[in-house]
Chain A
Amino acid sequence: DETKKTTYIVHMAKSEMPEEFEHPSHWYDSSLKSVSDSSEMLYAYNNAIHGFSAQLTADEAKSLKNQPGILAVLPELKYELH
C-alpha cells in the first residue's frame, strides 16, 4: 500500500543547517513539510540525535533521504524487554 505510513527516524547533519533557520526544530519541520503535507513530527530530538521522527510513506521517506542535510532515514525498530 503506497499510502501506508510508518515511522521513520530521520538523522540530520546539524552542521549543514541553512542559516535561515533559527532553531534546528524549524529546519526539521521544513524538511518534513518538503516531502509531506500531512505528516506530523512525533519527536524532535535535541540530545540523542540531531533529527526527528515522523510517519511517512515509503516514497516520502525515499524523497526525504535525497534532501540536503539528511544523513539517514531509518525505519522504526521494535525492541523488547529482557
Chain B
Amino acid sequence: TTRTPEFLRLDKNAALFPASSAAGAVVIGVLDTGVWPESKSFADTGLGPVPSTWKGECESGTNFSSKLCNGKLIGARYFANGYEAALGPIDESKESKSPRDDDGHGTHTASTVGGSAVEKASMLGYAEGTARGMASFARIAAYKVCWLGGCFSSDILAAIDKAVEDNVNVLSMSLGGGMSDYNRDSVAIGAFAAMEKGILISCSAGNAGPSAFSLSNVAPWITTVGAGTLDRDFPAYVSLGNGQNYSGVSLFRGAPLPGSLLPFVHAANASNSSSGNLCMMGTLIPEKVKGKIVLCDRGVNPRVQKGENVKAAGGLGMVLANTAANGEELVADAHLLPASTVGQKSGDAIKKYLFSDPNPTVTIFFEGTKLGIQPSPVVAAFSSRGPNSITPGILKPDLIAPGVNVLAGWSGGVGPTGLADDTRRVEFNIISGTSMSCPHVSGLAALLKAAHPDWSPAAIRSALMTTAYSTYPNGQNLQDLATGKPSTPFDYGAGHVDPVAALDPGLVYDLTVNDYLDFLCALNYTPSEISSVARRSFTCDAKKKYSVTDLNYPSFAVSFDAVGGSNVIKHTRTLTNVGAPGTYKVSLSSDNPAVKISVEPATLSFTQTNEKKPFVVTFTAVSTMPSNTNVFGHLEWSDGKHVVGSPIGVSWT
C-alpha cells in the first residue's frame, strides 16, 4: 500500500519496530484466491534464510512452478477437492488449478499483509508512491481456497489444517459466510485449532453494512476487522450545465471527455426495464444513450459493470450515484469509460437537475490523487456492524483498519475492474472492502509478534484493541460514512488501529484455550458440540457457574432485558502487566445516564512483569429502556503514560 504506512505512522516510527531479522522470522498465511508470484511485492531482496521452523511447500500446478517461490513468498498451496466435488472439474482454460491467482484479490491481500517495498508504484498513475505491506519483512504463504465458483468450507478447513502444520504464525482470512453457530462454522472451528497453536487469526468483518447485526467471523478467538477510510481521495468533479459542480471520485484513466458539455440522461429514462436506473446488462436503449453521459444508481450489479453497460450502449460517460445504502461513501473504481461516483446528497441534487432541465448537460473533470482529506478515518458505510448476532455478550467488530481505496499488488491475469472485457493489465490495483482492512491488521499483528514473540494471540489482539482510537484530535467520535454522524462501538469496535501505540500497551487482557472452553460452557454447548469445536473430550463442570461476562475480552457488551430481568450485570476481567511496574487508575465515560457503571477496585498496582490483577465492572440499569435501545461508553486504565481503553456497548433486548 502506498499511503497506509504514513497514515498508520509506521514510516516515522520505523525504529520502534523489530529489525528485519526478527520480522523475517514471522510467517503469515493468507487464505484467498492464490498469489501472482511475479509481483514486485514478493521480491525477496534483503531477506535472510527462510525460518527453520517452516514446514510448508510451494506446490506446482497450472501456470505455476514450485520454483516461483522465494525468500518472501515461502509457501503456495491450493485446495480444490471440495470445489471440484461440488461444481465439477476445474476448467483450466478459465482458472489455474494451482496457487496462481487469476482473480487479483489474493495478490492484493497478500501484498497488503507483508509485501516488500516497491518504489513508484501506482494504479494507472493514481496513488503513486512506495508500496509496501504492513510487515514488509515477514514471510508470506498463500493458500488458495477461493475459486470462480466461491470458497468451499471443506477446502478452507483443509487449508487451515495445512497452515497449522506448516507453522504459520498469523492467518489472514478475508472471507466469510453466513451467521452460523461456532460449531457449524468451519472458519471458527479451524481458527480455534490455529489459536491453540499460538497462531493469531484475523478475519474480515464483512461488507454487509450499514445494517445492524451484519457481522461475520464473530468467534471470540478470531480478530474481527471492520473498514475505515484513509486521508486520500481521487476527486472527479461533475460539472452540470446549470453551472453547479459536485465532487465525486474516480480512477478512470484514458481518453478524456471533450472539453464541452455533453448531453446528460438518467438511465431510468433510457431503459426498457423497470429497474433501468441500475444500468443492468442489456437494459439501456442505445438510441437514447449514444453520445451522452448516463446517470446510474449504485446497487445490485457491480459498479464497474454499470460503466461497461453504458459503454456498450454507446454512452460516453457515467455519473454513478450512491443511494441511501451507501450514503456519502465514495469508493473509487477504474471504470472503462469516464465516470465519477458521487454521494447520495450530490446524486439527489444532480437528479433534480436532470428531471427539471429539458436539455440537461454535464461533463466530468478528473483531478488525480489528493492527500490530507479530513476527517479521516471515517467508518466505511459497507463495513459490517454489530451487535453480535451469535453472542450478544461479545462486542464485535474488534477494531477497524484502512479498507477504502487501498492500493496493493494485483494479478497479471486480469484487468483492474476484474471484468472479462477489461484488457488492461496493472501491477497494482486500488480496491475496497473489509477484505482490505483485514490484512492490514494481520500484518500489524505480525509486527507485534516479531516484537513480542512470547505474547499469545489474545495478548496481541488486546494490544491492538486497547490502544486503538475512537475519536479525532478534537474529541469527536469517528464519523460514519453511511450517515455522516458520529459512529459507535457497534461500528468500529475498539476503534481504529494504532500500531505504534500497540507496541507498548502497558497491560493486556490475555486469554487461554481454557478460557474459551469455559466460554463454550457458558453458551451451554453440549460435550459433542464442544468437541466439534475444540477437538477434545471436555465436560463442563456442573458445579461451576460459567458466564460469557467472565471471558477476559478487551471490550464490554452488556445486554439488559427490556421486559424485566436483572438490572445489574457484572463483568469480571483480569489485566496482565506487559510493561514496567506502575499504578493504573480507572476512568469511565458514558453517553447516557440510563446506565451506571462502576469498577472495583478503581486502582491496580503492578510491581512486576506478567503480574495479573482482576477487577469487576458493575453495570446498573437505572431505568428500563425500550427494546433495541443502545448506550455506549468507555473504560480506561491509565498510569499516566499508557492508556488501556475498552469500548462499552449496552443494549436492551
Contacts and interface: CB of A to CB of B under 8 A. Distances in A.
Contacts of A53: 81-82, 154, 157-158
Contact of A45 (B158, B174, B183): B158
A65 to B, nearest CB: 11
A80 B150 contact: yes
B142 interface: no
Nearest to B204: A82
Nearest to A50: B535
Interface string B156-193: 11101100110000000011111010011111011001
Interface string A41-55: 011011111100101
Given A55-B85, A78-B151, A78-B153, A72 B532 contact: yes
Given A7-B85, A76-B82, A79-B156, A47 B193 contact: yes
Interface in B531-555: 531-532, 535-537
Given A15-B537, A80-B175, A82-B204, A7 B193 contact: no
A72 B153 CA distance: 15
A71 interface: yes
Nearest to B537: A15
A77 B532 contact: no
Interface in B69-88: 79, 81-82, 85-86
B417 interface: no
A82 B153 contact: no
Interface string B184-218: 11110110011001000000111100000000000
Nearest to B185: A77
> Residue among B81, B175, B529, B537 with the most chain A CB within 10 A?
B81
B438 interface: yes
B528 interface: yes
A13 B528 CA distance: 8
B306 interface: no
A13 B533 CA distance: 11
A42 B535 contact: no
A74 B532 CA distance: 10
A3 to B, nearest CB: 15
Contacts of A9: 153-154, 157, 186
A82 B435 CA distance: 5
Contacts of A55: 85
B200 to A, nearest CB: 16
Interface residues of B, number: 52
Contacts of B204: 82
Contacts of B152: 7, 76-79
B434 interface: yes
B146 interface: yes
A79 B187 contact: yes
A42 B83 CA distance: 10
Contacts of B165: 46-47
Given A72-B183, A77-B186, A82-B204, A43 B154 contact: yes
B154 A81 contact: no
B153 A48 contact: no
B322 interface: no
Nearest to B164: A47
Contacts of A82: 174-176, 204-207, 433-435, 438
A63 interface: no
A69 B535 CA distance: 12
B180 to A, nearest CB: 7
A80 B194 CA distance: 21
A32 B205 CA distance: 36
Given A14-B535, A71-B528, A79 B175 contact: yes
By Cβ-Cβ distance, the 3 closest A-B pairs, closest first, are A53-B154, A82-B204, A47-B164
Interface of A: 6-7, 9, 11, 13-15, 42-43, 45-50, 53, 55, 71-72, 74, 76-82
